[in-house]
A = this chain, B = another copy of it.
C-alpha cells in the first residue's frame, strides 16, 4: 500500500492495534517465510487462491497481462502490507517480486468460518480490505489525472510518504513498473522526471533515488 498508515487513513482506531501476527487469531502459517529474487513470480493469475500473503521485506507488485501484451500494475505492496486476498477459487491477478523480497503465507480460513469464529481476525481482515479499497480508489484517481506530469508527481509524493522521510522517494521499481502503474510509457516517465529536474523540483541521486526539493511546489502541480 502506498498510503501506508498515512494521510488518507479511514479508520484511525485500527492503526493503534498491534501488527498482524501469525500467532494471533489462530491463523495457520503455511511454512516459514519465503524468499523471492527480483522479478520472480509469487503467484499467477488462475492459481488456486487458498492462501494470502504478507510482505516481510522488499516490494511486491500485483499485475495483469493482457492479450495484446500490455501489462497493468494494480498495486505495489510494501512491508506489512497484506495481499493475495481472493474470495473465489483463483487469483485474478499475478504477484511478482519488484526487488528481492520476503513474504509469509497464511491459509485463507474461508469467509464464513472467519466471520463465525474469530472476531479479532475478522476485524484485522476488514482493515486490510479497507486499505486495499482505499488504494484502489486512489489508483483510479491517479489514472484519471489530466496529464503525465500530474500522475508522476502524485506518484512521487505518495511513494516518498510511505517511507518515513517524505522528501526522498526511494524507487525500488523500474521505469517500466512505474509506467505500467500510471498508464504511461517508459519514455514519458523518463521525460517527465527530466522535466521536473529541469524545474529544480527534484534531484536524481541515482535513477532510482529521487530527492524532492520543493514539496509544496510539487503538491501544487497535482491539484
Residues of A bordering B, CB below 8 Å: 8-14, 64, 66-68, 70, 72, 74, 86-88, 92, 111-112, 115-116, 119-120, 122-123, 126-127, 129-130, 132-133, 136-137, 139-141, 143-144, 146, 183, 223
The 30 sampled A-B contact pairs (Cβ below 8 Å) are A8-B92, A9-B88, A10-B86, A11-B87, A11-B88, A11-B111, A12-B88, A66-B223, A68-B223, A70-B146, A72-B140, A72-B144, A87-B130, A111-B123, A111-B126, A111-B127, A115-B123, A115-B126, A122-B122, A129-B130, A132-B133, A133-B136, A136-B137, A136-B139, A136-B140, A140-B140, A140-B143, A143-B143, A143-B144, A143-B183
Q: Shortest CB–CB separation between residue A82 and chain B, in angstroms?
A: 13
Please name all residues of chain B whose beta carbon is closer than 8 Å to the beta carbon of A183 when the two chains form the complex.
Answer: 143-144
State the majority secondary structure of interface residues on A. Answer: helix
Choice from B10, B66, B119 contacting A115 with Cβ under 8 Å: B119
Q: Which residue of B lies closest to A67 (CB)?
A: B223
Q: Shortest CB–CB separation between residue A51 and chain B, in angstroms?
A: 15
Complex contact B119–A116 (CB within 8 A): yes
Q: Which residue of B lies closest to A93 (CB)?
A: B137
Given known pairs A9-B88, A129-B129, the reply for A115 and B111 (CB within 8 Å) is: no
Which residue of A74, A136, A141 has the most chain B CB atoms within 10 A of its CB atom? A136
Q: Shortest CB–CB separation between residue A61 and chain B, in angstroms?
A: 14
Q: Shortest CB–CB separation between residue A28 and chain B, in angstroms?
A: 20
Which residue of A8, A120, A139 has the most chain B CB atoms within 10 A of its CB atom? A139
Q: Shortest CB–CB separation between residue A118 and chain B, in angstroms?
A: 9
For the complex, give the distance between the alpha carbons of A112 and B119 in Å.
8
Choice from B8, B116, B127, B140 contacting A139 with Cβ under 8 Å: B140
Contacts A72-B144, A126-B129, A140-B140 aside, 11 further interface pairs with beta carbons under 8 A come to A10-B88, A13-B111, A14-B111, A112-B123, A115-B120, A129-B129, A129-B133, A136-B137, A136-B139, A139-B140, A140-B143
